[in-house]
Structure 1
Amino acid sequence: MSAAPQQRPELRFPPVENGLDYLVDVTNRLATEPGVDPTPRNLKYAVRSLQDATETLLKARLQHEHWALVVAKPDGATRAAFARGDFLSCMTATRVAFSARVQVIRCGHPPYRAGSGCWCCG
């Protein structure tokens, strides 16, 4: 008699939770005894996890604003395809540049002057 097939656990990684998990990985890889440097391998993967955390958390914030901000080609994207995960995600640098243009369009002023928002919008 064969055993009943085991159900696979549901894999679900919400963006903010996933981004924070990357940050935990960074701290775990850099945490060493006092006076002991992290290994080159741990340093390499800490940097990579930091980049992944940055990208994931940025995209989570952009998605909070509008789902199409994280899609590589928003012109042909649909909400239904996005909900299914049927889309290509944008590159972070491209999306940051696009988001800056969106802010200029909204208020007409350059974004992030002197490390803050534009001069009139905060």
Structure 2
Amino acid sequence: MLQDGEMRRIEKLGQTLRDLDEVTKVLQDPMLSLHDVRVLFDAVIKQYPCMESRLDARAPIVNNTALETGLVKIIRGKKLAAPELVECEAFRQPRDESDGRSEDARDVLSLRQKGK
């Protein structure tokens, strides 16, 4: 028979597993953007700080931090740092300045079109 403290720990662990299982289900959505993933991971880190070393934008598993943070910034409409600009340059398409869109909006559209 389990003691009260052990039972509470098991219940808490079960809730954590259910929460993370929901995250894995959301991650399977083919329409999820890199921005959506970052928002989701940031929420997990806030709820479970021990996950920061694995889910942070600068985690060791991230192969190209500048590229990933740059793409998220483009989607969010934020300015890129110099290393991010270099890494994201390959995704930029020549633009037609007469389309009336802002430069950032054209960058986002360019990235989305490449993703199709």
Tell me whether the two structures share a fold, i.e. TM-score over 0.5. Answer: no
Query: What TM-score do the two structures reach when normalised by structure 1?
Result: 0.25
Q: Which has the larger helix fraction? A: 2
Query: What TM-score do the two structures reach when normalised by structure 2?
Result: 0.26
